[in-house]
Amino acid sequence: MTLAVEAGEHALQACGAGPAAIGALAVIAPRPLAVSTVAEALGIAAARAKAFTGTDSGAALNSCLDHVKAEDTRTLCIAVGVPEGPPSDLAEHGLGAGAVAAVCGPKGLVREQVAHLTAETLGTDRGEEMVSEVLDRLAVKEAAHVFAPEAAPGSHRSLEKRFGKAVHGGLSWFTGDLGAASALASLAAAGSRFAATESVLLITRSSHSATAVHLTAEGPLPGAGEVLASMKSGRRYIPYDLHLRGRLLQSGAEPSQGAYVSPVAYLAELPARYRLVGEECRACGTLHFPPRETCSKCGSREFRERPLKRTGEVFTYTVIGRGAAPSEFAEQQAVWGEYATAVISLDDGPRLTAMLTDVDPKRVSVGMRVEMAFRRLYTQERLPRYGFKFRPE
């Protein structure tokens, strides 16, 4: 969930599009995902969001492209890949975790045609056979760039023979197999080298479907940039013992020790919790966060929603040592140890309390610049609760 939101935020920022410009959202992940949560965190109407399950990201991408064609609007496609098994499972070795988001609309790549087949339609779930059949139906004989999954042994050799050129196989040598995100990741990594009018063929598949999308480039893919360089600069290795602890699960049924929020109250406050949406008094202009019933300055009960700036600085902070966390945060503390909680002075005025993340508590200081990050906070009543934390800017 947090990977999907982070990727979506970066994609919208890269293309200069606000959530109001997005006509539809499609998210594909290896297991069912609450797409309405992703939509709310990005500020996109949940009614315009659709969830896909599996690794065939071509189906989700094609859904977005259909909407672009029908409604003449931009859409957002997000593909997420995460390991599913426990660390001791050999099947998990070589798998990575990541998300890639693509804004579909004017400029970049133009879809020419598409073919999609399911295992039920074809009568086989053999990946190489599904890919071969879907390409036969697409009837594209050549392409300047061919992208295909690496999962099926020998499939690249047959594709290279078919098209007479090397096939882009993804970034698994560097990131691990990213599942549904692999195809879009490899497309982004090579997109800065596309030339105008070049044909691009994207092949994706899962255990029950295969999709082939034929596109034409209008030039280098906007926002692709140096994907590998950015990955390398932000790469961090996690010790295996920390990886094991990170797979611990808390039931969420433990008694609350101070952070309890009822499901009704939680759902009512999603804009504030997910996107830092505050309130501005219509009478005197005072900003409030979190939202409240009456203005603290003039007593008015008339407000308008006001998205707050997501940046600020640490006003004061404290470090919660081992064993001092309330039950809701016991899982996090078991994995990461002590953590810092701070009072943040936002750049447009209000102060709020938030947990700090992506930083060693010993390196926190008053005045440190921070920015909001969408994160999972804790599990309560067996459901994950999401909200804001802050990290170094």
How does pLDDT run across 67-123, given as a tens digit for each residue? 998 888 899 999 999 887 766 676 666 778 889 999 998 778 899 999 998 887 776
Domain boundaries, the chain: 2-235, 248-268+309-393, 274-308
How many Cα atoms sit within 13 Å of 55 on the Cβ side?
23
- Mean pLDDT comparison of 123-127, 216-220, 307-311, highest-scoring range: 307-311
| pLDDT tens for each residue of 159-197 | 888 888 888 876 777 787 888 998 888 888 888 889 999
Distance CA 197, CA 218 (A): 6
**115 is written with which tokens?**
């073919």
Q: Looking at the chain, list the stretches that DSSP marks H as alpha helix, in order from N- to C-terminal side.
A: 2-15, 35-42, 57-71, 119-122, 127-138, 155-163, 172-175, 182-191, 227-233, 240-246, 263-268, 270-275, 330-336
Instruction: Give the chain's mean pLDDT.
Output: 86
* E strands present in the chain: 22-29, 49-53, 74-81, 98-104, 109-118, 145-147, 199-205, 209-217, 277-281, 287-288, 303-307, 311-320, 339-346, 351-355, 369-380, 383-392
Q: Which CATH class is domain 248-268+309-393?
A: mainly beta
Residue 22 has pLDDT above 50, yes or no: yes
Q: Given a cut of 80, is residue 334 above it in pLDDT?
A: no
181: nearest Cα among 6, 49, 319? 6
The yes-or-no verdict on residue 387 having pLDDT over 60 is yes
**30 CB contacts (<8 Å, ≥6 apart)?**
53, 54, 55, 80, 81, 82, 84, 179, 180
pLDDT digits (tens, 9 = 90+) for 244-287: 666 555 444 555 656 677 888 888 889 999 999 999 999 999 99
Do residues 98 and 175 touch, judged by C-beta distance below 8 A? Answer: yes
Question: Within 13 Å, how many C-alpha atoms sit on residue 26's CB side?
Answer: 26
Q: Give the DSSP letter of residue 329.
A: G
pLDDT tier, 1 (very low <50, low <70, confident <90, very high otherwise)? very high
Is domain 2-235 given the CATH code 3.40.47.10 in the classification? Answer: yes
Q: What are the b/e assignments for 46-83, b being 16+ CB within 10 Å?
A: eebbbbbebbbbbbbbbbbbbbbeeeeebbbbbbbbbb
Cα dihedral 31/37/40/46 (nearest 10): 70
- Predicted confidence (pLDDT) at residue 155 exceeds the cutoff of 80: no
Mean pLDDT of 298-326: 91
Residue 251 is predicted with a pLDDT of: 46
Question: What is the separation of C-alpha 218 from the centre of its chain, rounded to a whole number of angstroms?
Answer: 26
Provide the token pair at 78. 């997000």
Q: What's the whole-number mean pLDDT along residues 13-42?
A: 92
Closest-CA residue to 147 (of 177, 116, 185): 185
Cβ atoms 189, 227 nearer than 8 A: yes
pLDDT of residue 294: 93
Which residue in this structure is represented by tokens 């203005």? Answer: 295
Note the pLDDT of residue 382.
75
